[in-house]
Amino acid sequence: MIVVVDSSALTLLVNPDARPPDDPATGAPLTHARERIEHLIDSLADNSTIIVPTPVLAEVLVRAGPALQAVVEQMERFPRFQIRPFDKLAAVETAMMTIDAVRAGDKKGGSAEPWQKVKIDRQIIAIARTNNAERIYSDDQGLATFARAQGIEVVSSWELPLPVIQTELFDREA
């Protein structure tokens, strides 16, 4: 399976101090957000590919500060993570999405977000589509709306299961 992570999911993975998103069910910060993302990565099949679009990488690296190079090196050590560029094919895909939206009478495709964010979201979705991604992990509702409109499944961090924590009922001593 080929999946994409957006900046909200990737930030939780690479930055232990990242602020978790708010859980829509409670309005409070999501509990065990990092653990949920780590469990997701662990539970994906060994032959799964996790795509990090370059616009996502750029956003996460801005927040990484001095750890910028270490974050890139860490991702490059895991072959399941593949950094994918906004290339010519993705540019064509983005243009086609924008042309369709303009023809429908709203270049932002119904989004209330600033135009620059809409363009970046489309680039991320175009990278996902041109790399045959089936799913994107994102807490960004604007991005999620675009992804669903393009036939890509979206999973938010609050929808991820908690990892099963196994504890011993009784301490066992020899």
| DSSP letter for each residue of 53-73 | EHHHHHHHHHHHGGGHHHHHH
Helix axes 88-103, 115-130, angle to 10 degrees: 130
Q: Is the pTM of this model over 0.85?
A: yes
**DSSP label at 113?**
S
Tens digit of each residue's pLDDT (9 = 90 or more) over 46-83: 889 999 999 999 999 998 888 889 889 988 888 889 99
CATH code matching the domain that covers 2-159, chosen among 3.40.50.300, 3.40.50.1010, 3.40.640.10, 3.30.9.10? 3.40.50.1010
The whole-number pLDDT of residue 99 equals 97
Do residues 4 and 129 make contact, with C-beta atoms less than 8 angstroms apart? no
Report d(CA 9, CA 20) in Å as an integer. Answer: 9
Above 80 in pLDDT, residue 25?
A: yes
Q: Quick check: 118 and 111 in contact, CB under 8 A?
A: yes
> Quick check: helix, strand or coil at residue 142?
helix
Contact, 151 vs 126, CB < 8 A?
Answer: no
Phi-psi region of 96 (alpha: psi -120 to 50; beta: other; left: phi over 0): alpha
Average confidence (pLDDT) over 7-12:
90
pLDDT digit string, tens, across residues 98-155:
999 999 999 999 899 999 999 999 999 999 999 999 999 999 999 999 999 999 999 9
What is the per-residue burial (b if ≥16 Cβ within 10 Å, else e) of 128-156? bbbbebebbbbbbebbbbbbeeeebebbb
Which band of pLDDT confidence, cut at 50, 70 and 90, is reported for residue 6? very high
